[in-house]
Amino acid sequence: DVQLQASGGGLVQTGGSLRLSCTASGFTFDFAAIGWFRQAPGKEREGVICIHTGDGLIYHTNSSKGRFTISSDNAKNTVYLQMHNLEPEDSAVYYCAASWNGGYYNFRPRQYIYWGQGTQVTVSS
């Protein structure tokens, strides 16, 4: 079975940091693009950042530039999202997802096939 397990969410104060993990199983990790998305209550799911585990290419969105980084440990089938200088506006459920679509960097949810269950990030003011 294909599974993506997102973890590492929690409660943090404004300006704090968190590291989220996304561990994959059941598919060839080395040739997938792994994206992080987030969804706040009443808002649409939006792309945050993604990495291609094969060539290491990284794409940011405006929400992640300058504050978030992403890395991949292919030996562990895990992608990490390191978030710094968090703001209350970053509060959301964060999802990781896998794509084999050539346009994965456009962050269209329909381009991502497998999704993790989400992990809650709450940033207090």
- Residue that the structure tokens 């096939």 belong to: 113
**Number of Cβ within a 10 Å radius of residue 90:** 22
Give the pLDDT score at 121.
Answer: 98
Return the structure tokens found at 5.
């397990």
Residues 6+ apart with CB under 8 A from 104: 33, 35, 50, 52, 111, 112
Asked whether residue 27 carries a pLDDT value surpassing 90, the answer given is no
Average pLDDT of the residues in 2-31 = 93
Q: CA 25 → CA 61, 78, 115, distances in Å?
A: 26, 9, 12
The H or E element spanning position 39 is: strand 33-39
Asked whether residue 30 carries a pLDDT value surpassing 80, the answer given is no
Give the pLDDT score at 46.
Answer: 97
Backbone φ/ψ region at 85: left (φ over 0), alpha (ψ -120 to 50), beta:
left
Asked whether residue 28 carries a pLDDT value surpassing 80, the answer given is no
Contact (CB, 8 A) for 25 and 57? no
